[in-house]
Amino acid sequence: MKKILSLFLVFAFIFNFQAKADEGMWILTLLNKNYAEMKKQGFKLTPEDIYSLNNASIKDAIAIFGRGCTSEIVSDKGLLLTNHHCGYSAIQSQSSVEHNYLRDGFWAKNFNEELPIPGLAVRFFVRIEDVTEQINKKLKDKMSFEQRQEVIEKISKEIEENAKKGNNYITEVKSFFNDNNFYLVLYEKYSDVRLVGTPPESIGKFGHDTDNWVWPRHTGDFSVFRVYMSPDGKAAEYSEKNVPLKPKYVLPVSIKGVKKDDFTMVIGFPGSTNRYMTSYEIENLIDVTNTNRIKIRGIRQDIMLEDMKADEKIRIQYSSKFAGSSNYWKNSIGMNNGLRKLNVYAKKQETENKFRKWYAADDKLKSKYGNALTLIETANKGIKEYQSAAQYISETMLRGIEIFGFANRVSNMLDKPNEIKEYAKGFYKDYSKPTDKKIALAMLKLFDEDVDVNYHPAFLSSEVNNIRKGNFEAYVDDLYSKSIFANESEFFKFMETYDKEKIQKDPAYTATMSVLETSKSLKEKAKKFNADLETGRRLFLAGLMEMEKDKNFYPDANFTMRLSFGKVGDYKPKDAVTYDYFTTLKGVMEKEIPGDFEFDVSPKLKELYNKKDYGRYGQNGKMMVCFTSNDDITGGNSGSPIMNGNGELIGLAFDGNWEAMSGDIAFEPELQKCINVDIRYVLFIMDKFGGAKHLVDEMKIME
């Protein structure tokens, strides 16, 4: 209890925030430090129930879903829940104009109807082990940044290889506290994951971009998958012979409901926070990174959306691409607003001034930490223009122009034509040449206007400005008529008699190579500044922890399993406004805009609403949809189980709120909310709307 209180006191001091028990993303092996506070708030279990090496525990039911979400096992047959937006690309990959699962939804009636998803895998967390001493004892204060990184990488690989012996685990040594601490993390990967069910977009993505990052929310953000294993019980690639997973642990599902001040906890894989970021870094984040992203993606998304609205096939092809782009485009807008409105820059400066006064009082401390903030400040000033140009190259060309991205992938497979053909099948399935061509024209013009000519790829100077005298339209017309990457039939015809030298002369390939060369040059120019920045960050955080050496700090999120805890509750975003902690199906009907892709409502859902046919999932004549809690989450937590004090599933975390978009940099105790879809709404949609009661019957329902 004393330790948890002291932790929040130090954050009140360091960040000038009110201390709250809901701040922090905790490593599971350290939960004993939080146990007293969790128990006081309503936690009924023990740390051993959460994380155990000897017995099945809650952590065994929770997995990384795909590349960046969380999921949880809810049946003894490997049934897996995650967010709709996490399963979106998988759903989209199986959709076509004839079988539009995005629009219509999908519910498998039995195992045979479940849809295999090539490339989709889940990783179950096995254990985490502190290896800081093993690495730090080999590090010397006088090492350069490069020398230090070489030693860390060498020892990390040795630790990872040793941990793999006698098993098939994935092993990673991860940095914590800005390279001051290190942990070994082990995972078990299952590569046969099949789509079992999904509501239509009108439920799973209700509100789309308008409601994204916003409360009140009425989105049934869930999808259902199943994990399969080999007949002998091992993780395996897809096979028709595989059988449903027999999990180590299954989360019980509670339909008892939630009320204000109920204890909650979220366990998942938060991706990245920067709670120890300095004022110098915030300045670059606002002025460069976020501002560039907002501008570039906004232009690209407008073009996508125009074509998606005009053609159903293109809407299916680009739905996942658009969603992936727009999510952090809007996040960047909200983050900039929040950082400015909440005066985070000034609060960080206060921290830095206190830090300077602390080390200035002791010559040894000054020698050890006196250069930390100077390194960060100088590095941020020096790296700014390289950082901006590199981001423009990535956003406008490598990620913005699809045939450039395709050519980039092919450059890594030049001697593997079969792999190229396999990749091309997926690429062209979701490719519209006219859309890509429009985007390419807009992106190239934007790059030319906004980026210093010293950082232009060679093809812009030679092909556009010299040969075509700045006529971007002529260049793009020529590029998309001549490049085999832009023409599906020509590409596959070419692959019948594959010629590596010919593909290397393709205009899209040569342009992409010049883009990569410029990107490489920018990285080299930024190398010293990045080294100084990382060194400064490490020293600054080490100094903060020494300054308050009797206090406990939680590490920034780094896509390792964490637990955060808090309570169900409402909040006041501004004067005279209070948001309740839950929403109901009535709000869906109130938001309805017939025919609008963001707010259209299914006739069947309206029928269920009008009849109040909620089955056992309703409460007092209402169908709860979403609720808010103050659990500390970020990207990567999407799909995470939110549980009550008994470890029972009460919902799925899926979003944060607009008023606290700066939360990845500075936790806002009075404003920050975790938005969750209520598990009762999930089950209601499965059962009453989707006709998939057999899936509910697989679960252990707590009433």
589 has pLDDT over 80: yes
Q: Which of 34, 29, 571, 561 shows the shortest CA–CA distance to 266?
A: 561
9 has pLDDT over 60: no
Q: Which of 20, 60, 174, 83 shows the shortest CA–CA distance to 636?
A: 83
pLDDT one-digit tens code per residue, 475-525: 999 999 999 999 999 999 999 999 999 999 999 999 999 999 999 999 999
Q: What is the mean pLDDT of residues 233-259?
A: 97
Report the percentage of the chain scoring pLDDT > 90: 92
19 has pLDDT over 60: no
Strands (E), 426-574: 562-567, 571-574
470 has pLDDT over 90: no
pLDDT one-digit tens code per residue, 55-97: 999 999 999 999 999 999 999 999 999 999 999 999 999 999 9
Length of the chain: 703
> Looking at 221, 262, 632, 655, which residue is catalytic?
221
- The predicted pLDDT at position 391 comes to 97
> Looking at 22, 60, 84, 85, which residue is catalytic?
85
Architecture of the 2-121+191-274+556-702 domain = Beta Barrel (2.40)
51 has pLDDT over 70: yes
**All structural domains of the chain with their residue ranges:** 2-121+191-274+556-702, 125-190, 279-543
Name the 3-class secondary structure at 186. Answer: strand
Query: Do the strands 243-244 and 641-643 form a parallel or antiparallel pair, or are they unpaired?
Result: unpaired
- The predicted pLDDT at position 23 comes to 85
- The predicted pLDDT at position 428 comes to 96
Q: What is the mean pLDDT of residues 463-469?
A: 84
> Looking at 638, 640, 662, 664, which residue is catalytic?
638
For residues 333 and 518, the answer to whether their CB atoms sit within 8 Å is no
* Res. 392 pLDDT band, cuts 50 70 90: very high
For residues 280 and 384, the answer to whether their CB atoms sit within 8 Å is no
pLDDT one-digit tens code per residue, 283-301: 999 999 999 999 999 999 9
Would you give the DSSP letter of residue 647? Answer: S
Residue type, position 394, single letter: S
Triad 573, 576, 577: Cα angle to 5°: 40
Rounded Cα distance, 207 and 218, in Å: 7
329: Cα separation from own chain's centroid: 13
Which two three-digit tokens encode residue 601? 């409502």
3 has pLDDT over 50: no
- The predicted pLDDT at position 692 comes to 98
> Which residue has better confidence, 238 or 5?
238
- What is the rounded radius of gyration, in angstroms, for the C-alpha atoms of the chain? 26
Triad 42, 47, 49: Cα angle to 5°: 95
Q: What is the mean pLDDT of residues 629-636?
A: 95
85 is known as an active-site residue: yes
221 is known as an active-site residue: yes
5 has pLDDT over 50: no
User: Which pTM does this prediction carry?
Assistant: 0.91
Q: Name residues whose C-beta falls within 8 Å of residue 702's C-beta, 6 or more positions apart in sequence.
A: 252, 253, 254, 255, 256, 646, 648
331 has pLDDT over 50: yes
- The predicted pLDDT at position 22 comes to 66
Q: What is the mean pLDDT of residues 26-41?
A: 92
- The predicted pLDDT at position 553 comes to 85
Work out the number of other CB atoms within 10 angstroms of the CB of residue 40: 12
* Res. 17 pLDDT band, cuts 50 70 90: very low
- The predicted pLDDT at position 16 comes to 36
Would you give the DSSP letter of residue 504? Answer: T
Q: What is the mean pLDDT of residues 132-147?
A: 94
